[in-house]
Structure 1
């Protein structure tokens, strides 16, 4: 029997991340506006109100403030950083700071920007696109297609494969990277441009500081500052000649990759560059983040103190870096903005970018969990107006609780909506979890709220659709709440449906139907030593899909249901919406699944008494599940596609570990369906799934 684990056990594992974050985030809260230099004239009024770091002394005092805690409960008072004037210090990396932005006239409006190659791309065969949250806002993924070629991030390279005709697939080229530290993560494809986004290490910093860093790590006290060595890169290739891609531009930002978006020709990168609380007494070049843009030269450039702004009441000792690149204008400089603060969840509409940061103030997380006292959990949301490749900060809002992911955030008609959870599912009294929904206006002021939904449960998924929001919470059953947002100042619950299991991801089918993807669950009574039932626990089972009919908003209905596998079955779709292929027009639904099955015949033959705790299954299948989906018949399985041979299935035990043969994405071109793993691309007919071709991908 596999390891026993209830959903609540899984919840505790998730909370461990929040605990570690609370150590950093719950460091201080207080107005840090005083002691900051005023911005230069000519910026917008909001930008003028946003203070500037101005000097190393100011930065050091603010970060020092973050480390002054009163046993994790009260925040010690401290004076504001001293007013400092003067030019930025010469860091020794470059002589002068390069120009940070091109003239405004050089950048088109983001909402109207469109690739000049878009029309030619549309001339290709009908093909699928990445499943994104907002129409018109592209999201990077590991696989893209333009209707003729398929592009895939494959280990530490990018494969370009000719996909048409399906029976004659061939590798057109393989992009490898000279930087041994660079690992591609995601890509964008638009016309003749391929953008590769990846993470790396600052090899120059590592080489020069290797001995110094080792010496510092050998010391126990006092703590020392360690230079941050992470790098985010966006590399643009001209792929007009698929057999010979040409690198046309490279940008690099020191920091950890958070997310990205692409609207027309404007690419936006968001990164966090960690500072920590132990800065050196004397200024060093490593304190300031660097960037590089081949549009303006090959040198690494430091961001000056006079170009770093402070978020109001920031609480995380990091730099948040927002960069904009005009992909179609290789000579237009990178647009870079740097802020003292951080962010970890990104949402973008066609006009605005929002970066959310979960904060905890007051009692530290693990103490509050044991004491049943709820910490002051807050989420800060920073808003940026998008203009061409520029992202301009326009305001900040704050709400109670923590969002789950990007689908907890939304914008409509100038209003920003966000769903959050505050508290802990296992706590009692004031510390127990509660779920909320807030509406903020264009100036990021809260104008409407709905609080205290489903006490004792956690949000598992959210989807905003027009004037409604759908929220799934879970502890032992799955309530689906339908929330009315037609009046932004007065959100209200219209109806709810309680069913076993939970949905991790909600996807629109049409305006009155929504598809839920998640896990089934069974309830088990908890008895004391005397045999008295004292509670109920829930154990997740195999994967579950459902079509919810919300035509009658007061009484939502689970119209159709389908199940896959037993306990342990999982799909990337439950963690990453980009793994879904869905077309309402083609009645097509497909996604990758790893199926685990319990051998019930052996259990029955052994005569053993069934365990009250459901058993984990053994590996049975990995590949694509392909469905015909309709409101009339629900989910009809067309078939399954795998890249693992029959012989390899025979050799598999409890688990199967060759992940390179796991199907990760499914796309379609014309009437052919393509499944991709790191070892192979297979093409099948869309209707009957007859195999039309296979392309082996060699190892690195």
Structure 2
């Protein structure tokens, strides 16, 4: 947990930030702007934005003692027009009846004005960094834009009138606290200082492992560019279930996927592909994984299958006792072996699903955390924690070769003064071309991830009952650090974060004080909050829907709170409903109704000394499904509920929203569950629970009981899911798949996968 405390110290003094996808407005063009070398952020009037929204990782930089700024972003901020001549490799600024031409890789620029041309010599080349023209600070700001420049301790001020940053220490520190706490590493020494490692250090005998036989050219591996565009297929016209996700348009990886024709299943050591057309189940392909790889999730997109997971390498190390206290002299230290972890993305072509082949791979050092997919881009999030002194995360990519290389310094953000024990990394990979994955790292730690179409947030909690939020701006393959913020309390899961109309909403629990809902503005400054809600209880579920929010807390009863978030400065609780049990997941089925999945709670009675029955405690009852009418924000109502099974019953969907199936057309919800009708009998039956919902009614359509396979193998899937394809329903119980007619639920066929010996 030390890593969490360190991150808390980092963010205890940070002002929150936010990224806008739009350029600065004309009304903001007057006055000073502030930059910090190494930071991709710009500060003006207390508002923080990326320097270049289309390239969010671009920062002011120093090369050969000269500070370079992005020509387009700074020029356009002050009202200039910018273009680029590809043929002559020249950037052009049009400003106040003159043109300024900067030829790339040359130490001069030309001025064209009133029919005259003048060439000006400069001491630094104009250059291209991350597809943007970079030019000397003072040439751009003073000579062309006619602005005053102030520069001290890596802070830059540009505007009308000079600012003495050296003597205005309060202003300097305020700027640094907003845009200067996370910076691009300038050299390896800065990286080493920013990553403290643990107090126990080991010297590893193998610092750079190459396993070309495992990762290298795979038989049948081809270039993505050789494949052409994906062709349409019948499966695209099918009606089939999709993974239950949080944000529309942002896909989430899962253990089971379908494309409307085949079912794809993830096992730890293999991927299994089953043809499911017309309910005639047949396994058509098995993809074994290397012995050091473990698959964790997948995406399916047309003729692409994307596998995500972790690869392990065991490294022998010598313990460094010189860093410990004298008591270690009395100890005999055994040999130490540490596993290096690499998160991987493997992209397969499945245009012929019976013969899939690998076309693209990417690995980065660190534990796989989660992933998201937007269009053709997959975003992989990993956390790396290191126990060695020589430290730089390694990455390898099939687009550049099969050998590990250290992550480039330009892709690493560090937190000077607040050493962390590892890195958060984000890899962005295009599944449709040969381009290598783009990588961004920051010396920090994070666990809970929320992503929309322009930003990715990673949250982490610590001992101080604080949650820190690290934000990355995303634009296709471009990923850039966009700032950090902090709120009180802990987050329960990804649904506790949501962005709407430029504001981030965050729901947290504090053990002693209660629960909180924060609204943060476009710079992640808190604009409004509801705090100390339901003291003594904890948040069990959250759902934000536009300008409304819903929170379920629980200790002895289940309060459902309704929030009006239409005014970011004044969020309000408008209604509250108290019912037995709790909902651990909330799902909108219309603008006025929510489904809640959770557990019933039953009072435990005992006779007191007078023989009277009194409540002495509570126990969980069966799985509970509630239907809430929230059309009246002041009076939420549970209009229907179902209790399925008795105490001891359980479903994975309570903690994993991807284990739920929803069919909007048939108004059906389904999930796998382990059920019992006897609270004192721990013999559970496995079954698929199908619940229909419409208007103010929910009905238990059927429980399909089915015995699970009684054998296990690492190359057999273990997840349970319910999916549908057209007129058929499929109940997946690990290695067992059963097909049913969707209308009457009559069994069609069953397939039990076997170990791939």
**2:753 equivalent in structure 1:** 697
Q: 2:194, 2:415 within 8 Å by CA — same for their partners in 1?
A: no
CA contact (8 A) 2:559 2:576 kept: yes
User: In the TM superposition, what are the counterparts of 1:92-131 in structure 2 within 5 Å?
Assistant: 117=230, 120=233, 123-131=236-244
CA distance in 2, matches of 1:169, 1:270: 35
CA–CA separation in structure 1 for the residues paired with 2:593 and 2:407: 49
Query: Per-residue deviation at 1:381?
Result: 1.3
Moved more, 452-461 or 628-637: 628-637
1:300, 1:676 → 2: CA distance?
A: 38
* Number of aligned residue pairs: 577
Give the TM-score, by structure 1 length: 0.75
Give the match's secondary structure for 1:489.
coil
1:289 equivalent in structure 2 = 393
1:29–1:314 CA contact under 8 A, matched in 2: no
1:50 paired with 2:187, answer no
Assess if the C-alpha contact under 8 Å between 1:53 and 1:305 holds in 2.
yes
Counterpart-to-counterpart distance in 2, 1:216 and 1:616: 57
Segment drifting more, 500-509 vs 527-536: 527-536
- CA positional deviation for 1:523: 3.2
TM-score for the superposition, normalised by structure 2: 0.69
Match of 1:303 in 2: 407
Alpha-carbon distance in 1 for matches of 2:604, 2:244: 37
> Are 2:250 and 1:186 equivalent residues in the alignment?
no
**Retained in 2: the 8 A contact 1:121–1:191?**
no
- Indicate the residue corresponding to 2:125 in structure 1: none
Maintained 8 Å contact 2:12/2:486? no
Alignment equivalent of 1:145, drawn from 250, 258, 273? 258
User: Structure 2: how far apart are the matches of 1:26 and 1:526?
Assistant: 46
User: Which shifted more, 536-545 or 478-487?
Assistant: 536-545
Q: Paired residue for 2:740, among 684, 692, 698?
A: 684
**Cα deviation per residue 1:6-44 (whole Å; 9 max; x = unaligned)?**
xxxxxxxxxxxxx788677667777699x9977524568
Aligned to 2:725: 669
Distance 1:62 1:529, change over 3 A: farther
Distance 1:189 1:213, change over 3 A: farther
- Of 483, 489, 501, which residue of structure 2 is paired with 1:413? 501
Answer whether contact 1:66 1:315 (CA < 8 A) is retained.
no
Partner residue, 1:76: none
Give deviations 1:356-408, integer Å, cap 9, x for gaps. Answer: 121333xxxxxxxxxxxxxxx21111222221122222222211111110000
- Deviation of the 1:154 alpha carbon: 2.8
Distance across 2 between alignment mates of 1:472 and 1:291: 42
Structure 1 or 2, whichever has the larger Rg, is 2
Q: Deviations over 1:139-170 (max 9, x none)?
A: 0000111111111113421111111021x221
CA-based RMSD of the aligned residues comes to 3.8
Provide the rounded CA distance (Å) in 2 between the counterparts of 1:62 and 1:591.
Answer: 46
Work out whether residues 558 and 580 of structure 2, in 8 Å CA contact, stay in contact via their aligned partners in 1.
yes
Structure 1 535/218 Cα, relative in aligned 2: closer, same or farther at 3 Å?
farther
| 3-state secondary structure, aligned to 2:531 | strand
1:629 CA drift (Å): 2.1
Q: What does residue 444 of structure 2 align with?
A: 341
Residues 524-543 of structure 1 deviation map (CA, whole Å, 9 limit, x = unaligned)? 47999999999964321211
Residue 184 of structure 2 contacts residue 412 of structure 2 at CA under 8 Å; is this kept in 1? yes
CA distance in 2, matches of 1:237, 1:63: 35
2:340 aligns with 229
1:171 to 283, 294, 299: 283
Matching residue within 459, 477, 490 for 1:389: 477
Show the counterpart of 2:684: 620
Quickly say closer, same or farther: Cα 1:390–1:412, change in 2 above 3 A: same
Tell me how far apart the structure 1 counterparts of residues 442 and 336 of structure 2 sit (CA, whole Å): 20
Q: Does 1:259 align with 2:370?
A: yes
Q: Following TM superposition, by how much is the alpha carbon of 1:616 offset from its aligned partner in structure 2, in angstroms?
A: 4.6
Contact 1:544 1:564 in 2 (8 A): yes
| 2:694 alignment counterpart | 630
Q: Is the 8 A contact 1:440 1:447 kept in 2?
A: yes
CA distance in 2, matches of 1:30, 1:548: 39
**Separation in 2 of the partners of 1:341 and 1:689?**
50
Distance 1:192 1:267 in 2: 15
SS at structure 1 position matched to 2:658: helix
Structure 2 unaligned blocks of 5 or more? 16-35, 40-59, 62-67, 75-177, 201-206, 211-227
Deviation string 1:465-499 (CA, Å, 9 cap, x unpaired) is 11111100011000000111111111100101111
Question: Equivalents in 2 of 1:176, 1:694: separation in Å?
Answer: 23
Correspondence for 1:274: 385
Select the structure that is richer in helix: 1
Residues 498-577 of structure 1: matches in 2 within 5 Å? Answer: 498-524=578-604, 537-577=617-657
For residues 144 and 416 of structure 1, what CA distance do their matches in structure 2 show?
Answer: 31
Secondary structure of the residue that 2:730 maps to in structure 1?
Answer: strand
Deviation track 1:660-688 (CA, whole Å, cap 9, x = no partner) reads: 79770011000100111232211101121
Q: Distance in 2 between matches of 1:26 and 1:529?
A: 52
Instruction: For 2:665 and 2:37, locate their aligned partners in 1 and report how far apart those are by CA, in whole Å.
Output: 56
- Aligned counterparts of 2:231 and 2:705: Cα–Cα separation in 1: 32
Q: How far apart, in 2, do the equivalents of 1:589 and 1:311 lie?
A: 46
Q: More displaced, 381-390 or 48-57?
A: 48-57
Unaligned residue ranges in structure 1 (runs of 5+): 1-18, 69-90, 95-114, 362-376, 424-431, 599-614, 649-655
Distance 1:313 1:257, change over 3 A: farther
Match of 1:360 among 458, 463, 467: 463
Write the distance in 2 (CA, Å) between the matches of 1:640 and 1:547.
Answer: 22
| 8 Å Cα contact 1:592-1:622 kept in structure 2 | yes
Q: Is the 8 A contact 1:643 1:662 kept in 2?
A: no
Using the TM superposition, give the Cα deviation of residue 210 of structure 1 relative to its aligned residue in structure 2, in angstroms.
2.2
Aligned residue number for residue 12 of structure 1: none
- For residues 216 and 502 of structure 1, do their structure 2 counterparts lie closer, same or farther at Cα, with a shift above 3 Å needed? farther
Check conservation: 1:674, 1:681, Cα contact below 8 A. Answer: yes
Q: Paired residue for 2:421?
A: 317
Secondary structure in structure 2 of the residue aligned to 1:147: coil
Higher normalized strand content (fraction of residues):
2
Larger displacement relative to structure 2 (531-540 or 348-357): 531-540
Deviations 1:244-296 (A, max 9, x none): 111001100110111100000011011010136xx64xxx3xx1110111011
Inter-partner Cα distance in structure 1 for 2:610 and 2:10: 48
Q: Contact 2:6–2:418 (CA<8 Å) still a contact in 1?
A: no
Q: Contact 2:413/2:481 (CA < 8 Å) preserved in 1?
A: no
